[in-house]
Copies of this chain bind each other. A is one copy, B any other.
Amino acid sequence: MASTPKAPPVDKRRQILDAAIRVFARQGFHATRVADIADEAGVAYGLVYHYFKSKDEVLNELFSERWSLLLAAIDEADRSEAAPRAKLEAVAGFIVDSYRHDPELMKVIIVEVTRAANSFGRTHLPEIRRAYDSIARIVADGQRQGAFRSDVDADFASMSFYGAIEQLLSGWIFELIPAGDGDFEQAKSLVVAAICDGLEPR
């Protein structure tokens, strides 16, 4: 062959990360030994430490990879010309689709980072917080435009909105509420409806 296969045909690093998603999702971070990751990846124990400084770094990498996409999606929604309500729909849509596309990864991120406030959540608080802040900016903008009532604090609304979505994902993850294909679509509009329209009839 003329090509120089400098990089090996299979990306072992990626292989380890993907294996880690599966194992973390199945057993939880604390209950998985590094050997479990290596086994699942079909790779020797030591190789994990060739590519990652520690077991923690594997999880950090998984989180950062995905969370940066979320931050980008929120910012993109914010910068768009859409109506405030449509912006929130875009954010909810992105998160729900993330779960639909890769439930195991989202499970790991939520259970092991976002909600693990005493371990990884603390480490990544600044990044997590950036998401809350960006959502709050969308809300505040909507209030300035008169699309949202102004007697609700934007930070508060942001927390409620995000909390509601995350609780929904948790419900799916732990099979507390049905997670059919239609449920996802329905959920997207329902979270926004709940926060924007409220429950009371007009």
Task: Identify the A interface with B (CB < 8 A).
Answer: 27-31, 85, 111-112, 115-119, 121-122, 125, 129, 132, 139, 142, 146-149, 152-153, 155-157, 159-168, 170-171, 173-174, 176-177, 187, 190-191, 193-202
Least Cβ distance of A111 to chain B in Å? Answer: 5
Least Cβ distance of A65 to chain B in Å? Answer: 21
The A contact surface, by secondary structure, is helix
CA distance A14 to B9 in the complex (A): 61
6 contacts between A and B (CB under 8 A): A30-B118, A148-B201, A156-B168, A156-B187, A160-B194, A163-B163
Closest B residue to A176 by beta carbon equals B129
Checking B111, B132, B155, B199 against A148 with a beta-carbon cut-off of 8 angstroms, the contacting residue is B199
Across the A-B interface, the 10 shortest Cβ-Cβ residue pairs: A163-B167, A198-B198, A28-B118, A160-B164, A115-B115, A148-B199, A163-B163, A197-B198, A149-B201, A163-B164
Question: In the assembled complex, which residues on chain B have CB atoms less than 8 Å from the CB atom of A115?
Answer: 115-117
Question: In the assembled complex, which residues on chain B have CB atoms less than 8 Å from the CB atom of A162?
Answer: 167
Closest B residue to A139 by beta carbon equals B199
Cβ B156 vs Cβ A177 within 8 A: yes
Least Cβ distance of A167 to chain B in Å? Answer: 3
Cβ A28 vs Cβ B119 within 8 A: yes
Cβ B163 vs Cβ A168 within 8 A: yes
Cβ B200 vs Cβ A197 within 8 A: yes
Cβ A156 vs Cβ B28 within 8 A: no
Cβ B196 vs Cβ A200 within 8 A: yes
Closest B residue to A165 by beta carbon equals B163
CA distance A60 to B138 in the complex (A): 40
Question: In the assembled complex, which residues on chain B have CB atoms less than 8 Å from the CB atom of A195?
Answer: 160, 194-195, 198-199
Least Cβ distance of A117 to chain B in Å? Answer: 5
Question: In the assembled complex, which residues on chain B have CB atoms less than 8 Å from the CB atom of A197?
Answer: 149, 198, 200
CA distance A156 to B168 in the complex (A): 8
